[in-house]
Amino acid sequence: MKKIYALFFIVSVVTSLNCFAQKAQSDNGDGTYTNPVIAADFPDPDVICVNDTYYMVTTTMFVFPGVTVLKSKDLVNWEYCSNAVPRFDFSKCYNLDGCKRYGHGQWATSLKYNNGKFYLLFITLDEGGFICSATKAEGPWQITKLPKGFYDPGLFFDEDGKIYVAHGYSEIRMTELDKNFAPISKDSLVYKGDIRKGLEGTHVYKINGYYYLYCTYGGLDGIQVALRSKNIYGPYEQKIVMSEKTHGPNFGIHQGALIKTNTNEWWTVLFVDSGPFGRFPSLQPVTWTNDWPIVGVYGKAVITYKKPNVGKSYPIKILPTSDEFNSKKLGMQWGWNHNPDSAKWSLKEKSGFLRLKTASVVDSLQKARNTLTQRMFAYYSDTLASIATTKMNFEKMKDGDIAGIAVFQDPYAYCGIKKLNGKNYIIMVNNGKVIDSVVVNGSAIYLRANAIYGSGAAHYGGGKAATGSGDAYFSYSYNDKLYSKIGNELKMRFNLKIFTGNKFCLFNYATKELGGFVDFDWFRTSAGSIKQ
């Protein structure tokens, strides 16, 4: 019987901008929290409150199950609620069948609740518009393709029963929809961005008689603005409500949602481009001045701040990352790189193991189906790396098969076993090039990936680091005690060709013939020294 594995992190209080506790969650345990509110790739957030629960949807693009919905009782401690789209069967490209959808797929999603139903409205750049609906945020969700798609849509149910969507890039337009979310009006231009190119990410609210379009001028140095009008079609006036230029965990904070608590506090969840680990959500207080929602405190985004007052206290929660593969279902932290071939993986064929069978014959990891991925999490420290370790049994691999652990974006790298001419080799591949190769014996091996998000808050908090790279390196062991480094370092990047943060991956693909498989015993993550 496998040993049950658990990892607990010390919770300590953040006392200054440059002193981050070595922990895995935002809640400091003393009535305060530290941004980012989730230190991982959850971009383009939209957040709503239904009864006493807050729900957030984020972008997952080409990863399925996807369109991740989280829930929270206090806006600080989040947990997985559902992945609204288990798979996306609207193009063969989502099966990596001769084409791909890296950098495409589901984009910024609008989350609303109306008349007892949850709605998710999003666009894919290639397939168009889609609406998902459910009576419970936990699902099941029903997905429907729409006759028209809307870029960065902001869905809005007005008090008179009419339905609208605000949408567009640089030029924001308003369209009335019918009950089936098909357009029944023209796309009316209501505002043309005049600060710079790229006004987008619109969310629509009606507050105190004003219609508000809560938008961003995106980019690393993003600017959050509010537009307001007494008429939904305008004219709108504009105000900058946040423009954070201090390098650190809130540099360029932008694009997200306004939220009112049951205690009448106002907050906003925006995101920050945070380097190779992706785009991290940030929770900021909002005050109203002359009917404008002003973000932060005295014009500055907060790093450590008092938690929202939601009427009671709730326990600290940590989003899961490790997995013993003892369940009959994958944890909600996992997603496949494009749609999986469901017949080629199993948690049941060997109890307590994830079995990955080769699903297609390809020449690179980028084309391989059934690559299982999850987000990398930064820790609230300036000296730690995010470490992923797995134990893999490889005795049933076929000649030409390659299986192991990867850090995936563009560029990517991996460490794993390659079976060639009857021999097993442990190899390290960096962006398609074999860097190192060692003959191995036996049938099982421990593989490890260390992803270093750098020294200093700016490395996981945006600013210059968001355009730079972090390092990742790989090692292996025969006993899970002594690890040997293999190959060279991957210079991680956040490349818009992929458009998601770097991810840890488990994979197995064939280069010659199908029929082989590997068994992953467990996958465990931890924080560690950059020298480890």
Does one domain contain both 223 and 357?
A: no
Sign of torsion over alpha carbons 216, 47, 152, 248: positive
Q: What is the predicted pLDDT for the residue at 7? A: 28
Residues 343 and 279 in one domain: no
For residue 6, give every residue at least 6 positions away whose Cβ sits within 8 Å of its Cβ, in sequence order, or none.
none
Assess whether 395 and 462 both reside in one domain: yes
At residue 454 the predicted structure's pLDDT band, cuts being 50, 70 and 90, is low
**423 and 296 in one domain?**
no
Strand extents, DSSP E, 158-278: 163-167, 171-177, 188-192, 199-207, 210-217, 223-229, 237-242, 254-260, 266-273
Polymer length in residues for the chain: 532
Do the domain assignments include residue 37?
yes
Cβ atoms of 64 and 47 within 8 Å: the answer is no
Q: What is the pLDDT of residue 468?
A: 52
Query: Domain end: 288, 306, 324, which one?
Result: 306
pLDDT the model gives residue 372? 98
Query: What distance in Å separates the CA atoms of residue 161 and residue 153, rounded to the nearest whole number?
Result: 19
Q: Classify residue 190: in a domain, yes or no.
A: yes
Is residue 171 annotated as a catalytic residue, yes or no? Answer: no
How far apart CA 362 and CA 358 sit, in angstroms, is 10
pLDDT digits (tens, 9 = 90+) for 84-98: 999 999 999 999 999
Number of independent structural domains in the chain = 2
Whether 328 is covered by a domain: the verdict is no
Residue 343 has pLDDT above 50, yes or no: yes
Strand ranges (DSSP E) for 135-198?
Answer: 142-145, 154-157, 163-167, 171-177, 188-192
State whether 44 and 193 are in the same domain: yes
How far is CA 394 from each of CA 275, 326, 441, 456, 507, rounded to the nearest angstrom? Answer: 34, 19, 10, 39, 12
Q: Does one domain contain both 344 and 296?
A: no
* 383-396 mean pLDDT: 92
- pLDDT, one tens digit per residue, over 346-387 is 999 999 999 999 999 999 999 999 999 999 999 887 657 899
Quote the strand ranges of 311-412, DSSP E: 335-337, 345-346, 354-357, 372-375, 384-393, 402-408
The answer, yes or no, to whether residue 144 has pLDDT greater than 80, is yes
**pLDDT-derived band of residue 527, with 50, 70 and 90 as boundaries?**
confident
Condensed to tens digits (0 to 9), the pLDDT of residues 244-284 reads 999 989 999 999 999 999 999 999 999 999 999 999 999 99
In a domain, 169, yes or no: yes
For residue 21, tell me if it sits in a domain.
no
Is 398 a domain residue? yes
What would the two tokens of residue 161 be? 């029963």
Q: Which of 27, 41, 44, 273 is catalytic?
A: 44
* Close Cβ partners of 388 (under 8 Å, ≥ 6 residues apart): 405, 448, 449, 451, 504, 523, 524, 525
Residue 20 lies in a domain: no
Residue 528, pLDDT score: 78
Residue 230 has pLDDT above 60, yes or no: yes
Tokens matching residue 97? 């069948």
- Tell me the CATH number at 230: 2.115.10.20
pLDDT of residue 111: 98
Query: Is 301 found in the same domain as 341?
Result: no
Query: Range of 140's domain?
Result: 32-306
Position 456 scores a pLDDT of 34
* End residue of a domain, out of 259, 290, 306: 306
- Tens digit of each residue's pLDDT (9 = 90 or more) over 164-200: 999 999 999 999 999 999 999 999 999 999 999 999 9
Per-residue pLDDT band at 30 (split at 50, 70, 90): very high
Based on the fold, state whether residues 350 and 289 are members of the same structural domain. no
Taking only the tens place, the pLDDT of each residue in 405-452 is 999 999 999 999 999 999 999 999 999 999 999 999 999 999 999 999
Q: Residue 481 belongs to a domain with what CATH number?
A: 2.60.120.200
Average pLDDT value for residue range 510-524? 98
Please give the structure tokens belonging to residue 525.
């993550």
pLDDT (mean) for 228-236: 98
Average pLDDT over residues 452-472: 54
- pLDDT tens figures, 96-105: 999 999 999 9
The pLDDT value given to residue 466: 42
Query: Is residue 10 situated within a structural domain?
Result: no
Give me the pLDDT at residue 529, please.
64
Catalytic residue among 46, 127, 152, 200, which?
A: 200
Contact 133, 119 (CB under 8 A): yes
* Cα four-point dihedral sign 491, 478, 503, 515: positive
User: Tell me, what's the pLDDT at 380?
Assistant: 82
Q: What is the mean pLDDT of residues 71-83?
A: 98
Q: What is the pLDDT of residue 17?
A: 29
Q: Are residues 393 and 263 in the same domain?
A: no
**The pLDDT value given to residue 306:** 98
Residue 14 has pLDDT above 80, yes or no: no
For residues 112 and 179, membership in a common domain is answered with yes
Distance CA 143, CA 238 (A): 35
pLDDT in tens, 292-326: 999 999 999 999 999 999 999 999 999 999 999 99
Q: Which two tokens stand for residue 395?
A: 């005795």
Mean pLDDT computed over every residue of the chain? 92
Judge if 270 and 348 occupy the same domain. Answer: no
Q: What is the signed CA dihedral for 413, 281, 103, 373, rounded to 10 degrees?
A: 40
**Active site annotation includes 436:** no
If asked whether residues 276 and 339 sit together in one domain, one would say no
Q: What does the pLDDT look like over 473-500, one tens digit per residue?
A: 999 999 999 999 999 999 999 999 999 9
